[in-house]
Amino acid sequence: MIRHELQRAIQQSLTSEFPDISLSDFSVAASDDPRHGDYATNAAFALAKLAGRPPTEIAETLAASLRQNENLVASAEVAEPGFVNIQLAPDILAEEFRQILEKGEY
């Protein structure tokens, strides 16, 4: 599922950008408003507490790292006070739809 792929990508970004801090307790949720992307994460808030840095600073670093994953993420933008809004890449959506139709899970 896409949400699990996003969680893995976020975890990898956090581990890469903040190797001295271990974080596994964060959420990835579908956006309530499509203008804010497909998903949002609160990972910057959880990491900010551990790193002693502002959530927006952590969110900027996380968003920049996620943008490098072009196969999964079309855009990643920071929303105050430190959420990261994520727009999925069109190809990952098309693949997910293809799998749903193939399995008949609709």
Q: Are strands 39-41 and 73-79 parallel, antiparallel or unpaired?
A: unpaired
Residue 96's CATH number? 3.30.1360.70
The domain of 33 spans: 2-103
pLDDT tier for residue 97 given thresholds of 50, 70 and 90: confident
**Which residue is it, tokens 């307790």?**
25
Q: What is the reported pLDDT for 105?
A: 67
Domains: count for the chain: 1
Q: What is the reported pLDDT for 99?
A: 85
- Measured from the Cβ of residue 22, the count of other Cβ atoms closer than 10 Å reads 11
Q: What is the reported pLDDT for 85?
A: 98
Can you tell me the distance from the alpha carbon of 33 to that of 80, in angstroms, rounded to the nearest whole number? 15
Can you tell me the distance from the alpha carbon of 81 to that of 85, in angstroms, rounded to the nearest whole number? 12
Can you tell me the distance from the alpha carbon of 12 to that of 32, in angstroms, rounded to the nearest whole number? 25
Report pLDDT digits (tens) over 28-73. 999 999 999 999 999 999 999 899 999 999 999 999 999 999 999 9
What percent of the chain clears pLDDT 90, i.e. is strictly above it? 76
The angle that helices 43-51 and 2-17 make with each other, rounded to 10 degrees, is 20
Cβ(91)–Cβ(76) under 8 Å? no
